[in-house]
C-alpha cells in the first residue's frame, strides 16, 4: 500500500514536470486495491483493471515502469506481460474492463481451471450499460467473476447519490440473483476477506459476486481536474482522517512501518529513473497489433506515415 501511495505521488510530480502527459491519481484507494488483488491466485486468476488501479498492479507484482509507460504515452496498455502478471492491460474506457472479465471467466469455466476473474470499476462506471450487460450475462451463466466496485464518492464531479439509483451498487446484485457485498474499502483486511469469500464462491460454481468497497478519492479525478470546484475542504478532511495507510500502520510495529517507507522510497526512485530514461518506441508500432491481418486502409495509413516520417 505504501509503495502504491509513494509511486502515485511521484507520478503526479512527473506529470507536473512535463514527463507524463496525464495521470489519474488513486490516493485513498490503496486498501481497496491491494486488499482485493492480494487475494488472487496468480496461477489461475486474472485481474482486469481500469485506469486508476496502480495499487492492484503493485500487489500483483507488475513491472511499474512498464505499467506507467501507458501514462507516458509510450505504449498502449503498458509494456509489461499481462500473462505473467495476471493483470490485463488497463482500460481507459469507462466500464470497459468489465465485459472483458466476463469473457475471460467464460473461458475459465470452459477450460476447467477454476480460475476467477476480478474486474475493477468505479461508482460512475456502474451506470454504464456495459456493466449491466456484464452482470446479467455472468449471472445467467453463473460465471466465476468478481465485480469489484470502488465507490470513491465521485463520478468525476457528480456525487454518488446523484448517479447511483437506490444508493448502492452492491444492492443491484439481488436483481441478478447473485451475491452482493458492501465493505469498508479503507480497511485492507476487510477487503481481503470479502474478496477471498467471493473467490471461494466462484471456484465452487456458485456464480459471480458484486463487491462494493466504500472508499474515497483523496485527490483529483485526473491531473487536469480541480476537485475544489465541486467538493468541500471539510469533506476531504473528514475522509483524510480515515486514511487507509494510517489505519494499516496503526496495526504494525513502528520498525515495520519504517522499513516499508525505505522500501517504498527505493522503488519510487527506480520507477522515476526508469521512466525519465525511457525513449520513444519505433513509430511503426502504431500500426502493429491492431488486426491480425492488416486491412488495406491500415496498410495505406502506414505507408503514408512512413513517407511523412522519412521526408
Active-site choice (71, 217, 242, 272)? 217
Q: Are residues 242 and 301 in the same domain?
A: no
Q: Are residues 248 and 306 in the same domain?
A: no
CB-CB contact of 32 with 192 (8 Å): no
pLDDT digits (tens, 9 = 90+) for 156-212: 999 998 989 888 999 999 999 999 999 999 999 999 999 999 999 999 999 999 999
Q: Are residues 138 and 200 in the same domain?
A: yes
Q: Are residues 187 and 222 in the same domain?
A: yes
- CATH number (domain holding residue 207): 3.40.50.970
More confident residue, 284 or 105: 105
Q: Are residues 202 and 311 in the same domain?
A: no
Q: Are residues 90 and 225 in the same domain?
A: yes
Answer yes or no: 247 catalytic. Answer: no
Q: Are residues 247 and 299 in the same domain?
A: no
Answer yes or no: 42 catalytic. Answer: no
84-87 long-range contacts (CB < 8 A, ≥24 apart) are 85/42, 85/57, 85/60, 85/61, 86/40, 86/42, 86/45, 86/46, 86/47, 86/60, 87/46, 87/47, 87/49, 87/56, 87/57, 87/60, 87/62
Active-site choice (230, 269, 281, 303)? 230
The number of beta carbons lying within 10 Å of the beta carbon of residue 278 is: 17
Q: Which of 91, 88, 70, 90 is nearest to 79 (CA)?
A: 70
CB-CB contact of 195 with 148 (8 Å): yes
Q: Which three cell numbers stand for residue 204?
A: 465452487
The two beta strands, 179-184 and 154-155, are unpaired
Q: Are residues 15 and 143 in the same domain?
A: yes
Active-site choice (71, 221, 242, 272)? 221
Q: Are residues 28 and 115 in the same domain?
A: yes
Mean pLDDT of the region 285-302: 90
Q: Are residues 148 and 293 in the same domain?
A: no
Answer yes or no: 217 catalytic. Answer: yes
pLDDT reported for residue 211 = 98
Number of domains in the chain: 2
pLDDT reported for residue 250 = 95
Across-strand partners of 212?
A: 149, 182
Q: Are residues 150 and 16 in the same domain?
A: yes
Q: Are residues 84 and 6 in the same domain?
A: yes
Q: Which domain holds residue 287?
A: 282-311
Amino acid at each position: 500500500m505504501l509503495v502504491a501511495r509513494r509511486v502515485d505521488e511521484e507520478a503526479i510530480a512527473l506529470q507536473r514536470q512535463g514527463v507524463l502527459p496525464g495521470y489519474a491519481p488513486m490516493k485513498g484507494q490503496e486498501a481497496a486495491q491491494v486488499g482485493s488483488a492480494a487475494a488472487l491466485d496468480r496461477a489461475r486468476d486474472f485481474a482486469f483493471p481500469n485506469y486508476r488501479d496502480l495499487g492492484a498492479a503493485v500487489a500483483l507484482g507488475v513491472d511499474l515502469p512498464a505499467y506507467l509507460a501507458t501514462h507516458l504515452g509510450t505504449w498502449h496498455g503498458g509494456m509489461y506481460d499481462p500473462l505473467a502478471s495476471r493483470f490485463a492491460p488497463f482500460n481507459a474506457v469507462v466500464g470497459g474492463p468489465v465485459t472483458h472479465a466476463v469473457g475471460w471467466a467464460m473461458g475459465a469455466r470452459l477450460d476447467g481451471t477454476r480460475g476467477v476473474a476480478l474486474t475493477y470499476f468505479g461508482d460512475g462506471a456502474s451506470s454504464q450499460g456495459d456493466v449491466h450487460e456484464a452482470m446479467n450475462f455472468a449471472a445467467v451463466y453463473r460465471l466465476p467473476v468478481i465485480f469489484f466496485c470502488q465507490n470513491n464518492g465521485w463520478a468525476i464531479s457528480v456525487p454518488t447519490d446523484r448517479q447511483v439509483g437506490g444508493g448502492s451498487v452492491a444492492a443491484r446484485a439481488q436483481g441478478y440473483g447473485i451475491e452482493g457485498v458492501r465493505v469498508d474499502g479503507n480497511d485492507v483486511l476487510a477487503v481481503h476477506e470479502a474478496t477471498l469469500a467471493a473467490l471461494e464462491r466462484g471456484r465452487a460454481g456458485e456464480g459471480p459476486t458484486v463487491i462494493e468497497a466504500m472508499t474515497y478519492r483523496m485527490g483529483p479525478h485526473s491531473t487536469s481536474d480541480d476537485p475544489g470546484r465541486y467538493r468541500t475542504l471539510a469533506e476531504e478532511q473528514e475522509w483524510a482522517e480515515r486514511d487507509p495507510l494510517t489505519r494499516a500502520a496503526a496495526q504494525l510495529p513502528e520498525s515495520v512501518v519504517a522499513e516499508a517507507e525505505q522500501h517504498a522510497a527505493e522503488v519510487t526512485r527506480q520507477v522515476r529513473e526508469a521512466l525519465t530514461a525511457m525513449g520513444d518506441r519505433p513509430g511503426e508500432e502504431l500500426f502493429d497489433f491492431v488486426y491480425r491481418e492488416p486491412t488495406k486502409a491500415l496498410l495505406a495509413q502506414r505507408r503514408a506515415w512512413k513517407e511523412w516520417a522519412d521526408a
